[in-house]
Amino acid sequence: MIKPLLTSLFLSIALLAGGPQRAQAQANGAIPWFTVQNYAVVVQNGANSKPLDRNVTLPNGIQVEYRTQSLRLADGSRVPMQEGDVLSLNGEFIRKKAEISPAPAPARTVAAAPAPAATKSVASAAFKYQPAAPVNGKLKGVVELGASGFNMFIIRIDTKRNWKLEKSEFGNSLVMENMATEEDIRNGLKTYIGKMLDFGVAGRDIHFVVSSGASMAEGTRRIVKSLEALKFRVNTVTPESEGVLGLQAAMPKEFADKAFVVDMGSGNTKISWMDGSQPRTNSTYGAKYYEKGIEDATVAADVKAKAGQVPTGLSKTCFIIGGVPYEMAKAVRQGDEPYTTLLGPDAYPQLGGAKSKAGLNIYQAVAAATGCTHFVFGYDTNFTIGYLLSLP
């Protein structure tokens, strides 16, 4: 007998393992299958359905991933499921092209031939780009004072501006919520400084950058005051300069004439590209716009207007960075790959939390305005690294 596929929560499938229950199910025409309903993977048994709350591996090795609403094949590739798609328990899969009857006839086996339909949800092939490694590089460090926390980056950079991320650390801060004392700030920043010094970064090569989103927060001046007391210079950037720095760090040199960059921050989102030899940046809402009571439709309209200015010749590939894109990339990352090609914007409705949902709205608007289907997330990239690259 086939081993039951789910726990008692999905007893209807377990009963399919064999015996009288299976015969009765077949007699009633109620054989369970997997489908997508209202942006969730469910187990359908006749008129009854139950949502999945964990991944399920079928007897033929195909795994149904409930979070990403995708099928993970034996070779590690994924086939995103769309609303109304159907997967039988033996791994046969059909795309919904019209209304599907309660007991669909299998069309093809995913294990043998993954559905090739090209939709916005289908992730492109893995992005294999490898940047040139620095030769005899020098260590430089930067602390980003962002709208959602303090982040630290240490890179090694050579005279040709080739660079490699050597260390990074991400942390949350209560400064922006005005719930941290001046001593808390000072101690936290001293800890980061100490870590960079211990790693080998010279004191003169430690920099501090206040993001454009954080600069609007009331608590920022307390951070700047604490740093200045430690004799460090603090650099505040505008949304436009932040977009240019993000473009410089996230865009591989070879793609300057065929791609654009989206830096989705908490306070704002920067959409940047090269206009000949000059960088162009448009700034729009960030992923925390909901805190200001701004409607999703208002944000989407503005994002589309700004993203719609990206030239057609550059809109095929987008290098995207930021906290919400990181969550999207993490869900489908293959091992320790430096770049992850995101699933399409209609493949992440399961993202939880207000910030993630707001970021998804921005992502969907960028994709709709540009027609881009190849969004590449780089794990080693941040606009503050662009700041280090811009230094003499």
Residues 123, 126: Cα–Cα separation, whole Å? 8
Cβ atoms within 10 Å of 65's Cβ, excluding its own: 20
**Alpha-carbon distances of 179 from 165, 175, 182, 222, 353, rounded to whole Å:** 32, 6, 10, 12, 22
Q: Say whether 299 sits in a helix, a strand or coil.
A: helix
Residues 231, 215: Cα–Cα separation, whole Å? 20
Give me 32's structure tokens: 């369970």
DSSP 42-110: EEEETTEEEE--S-EE-TTS-EEETTTTEEE-TTS-EEE--TT-EE-TTSEEE--SSPPPSSPPP-EET
DSSP 347-361: G-TT--SHHHHHHHH
Is 119:105 a contact under the CB 8 Å cutoff? Answer: no
pTM confidence score:
0.66
- pLDDT recorded at residue 104: 38
- pLDDT recorded at residue 6: 34
- pLDDT recorded at residue 373: 86
- pLDDT recorded at residue 224: 79
Q: pLDDT tens, 190-207?
A: 888 999 999 999 999 999
- pLDDT recorded at residue 36: 82
Domains, the chain, ranges and CATH? 8-109 (no CATH), 138-236 (3.30.420.40), 252-380 (3.30.420.150)
DSSP 230-298: TT--EEE--HHHHHHHHHHHHS-GGGTTT-EEEEE-SSEEEEEEEETTEEEEEEEE-TTGGGGT--HHH
- pLDDT recorded at residue 119: 35
Residues of the chain with pLDDT under 50: 1-30, 97-124
Q: Say whether 187 sits in a helix, a strand or coil.
A: helix
- Best CA proximity match to 372, nearest among 278, 279, 276, 262: 262
Residues in the chain: 392
- pLDDT recorded at residue 178: 57
Is 172:199 a contact under the CB 8 Å cutoff? Answer: no
Compute φ and ψ for 139, nearest 5 degrees: -80, 135
Q: What is the distance of C-alpha 382 from the center of its chain?
A: 14
